[in-house]
Amino acid sequence: MSLRRKQQGGDNSMQADVTLDWDVYLLAGVGSTRAIFTECVKELQRRYKEAGRSSSIRELFPYGDHTQNFFHQLLRVRKDLYRFRRAVQSGARAVAGQVREFSAGKPVLFIGHSGGGVAAYQAAVMLHKEGIIPDWRVIQVGSPKMPIETEYMSKVHYVVAVNDKGDCADFITRIGSWGGISRNRYGIWYWNRVKYAPRHIIPIPLMGGHQHYFRKEAPYIHPERGSNLIVMIDTIWERVARELCLAASTMM
């Protein structure tokens, strides 16, 4: 079904159709189990099926999984985070290799948890500059802060867990920095802590913290909002799908 025909059905169907034209990659952080995204994949596939389409979703472990040396994985993430390093490091290269094989020529949505969000951004920028993917978006979920190039700020969504009081509930998001030196209107230089921040910073209320974004069982179920997983998928579906819809309409 074409995008133009889907538009006649209203905003919701149009958003779903555009989102399904993008390949999806789920990127895990350090020490993750192989089951971290199992329920997330099922929920995304369920929504795609309801929209009458199939989906291309792949799970990647750019720094390894829980069976490998945890501290070695941390060092690899640290190298990818280092703001002055020009060379793309191993985590991003591993992701880029998979995307080249399966998604060359297609727009890609990367969803990276923790260190996976670091590798996702690095790989997306590299692949786009090489002309491998025509467009991309990155959702960094509970990731360390890393400087985002100005031209790509609108392509990055940063999701952080907060408690019912609105306070940050994810300690990993306190690592790293978006800061840089700026000059105010009086010509005075100062440290701007959000100079290189992504355009979209999305706090979402969750039960628990860093390890619990994609959980759907008790005790990670709110009596009104539902499970953490549903809150996460709703955020992706409603916030990012809308943006992808607008991006596609400008290319028509």
The domain in which residue 153 lies consists of 3-251
Q: What is the mean pLDDT of the chain?
A: 85
The predicted structure's pLDDT at residue 250: 56
**Number of structural domains the chain divides into:** 1
- Pairing mode of beta strands 226-227, 221-222: antiparallel
Q: What pLDDT does residue 84 have?
A: 47
Sheet holding 156-162, edge to edge: 57-60, 23-27, 108-113, 136-141, 156-162, 200-205
Domain harbouring 154, CATH code: 3.40.50
Give pTM, 2 decimals.
0.86
Pick from 13-22, 107-116, 157-166, 241-250: least confident: 13-22
pLDDT in tens, 3-44: 233 333 344 433 434 444 789 999 999 889 999 999 999 998
Highest-scoring range by mean pLDDT, 29-33, 78-82, 218-222, 243-247: 218-222
> What pLDDT digit, counting tens, does each position of 186-241 carry?
999 999 999 999 999 999 999 999 999 999 999 999 999 999 999 999 998 888 86
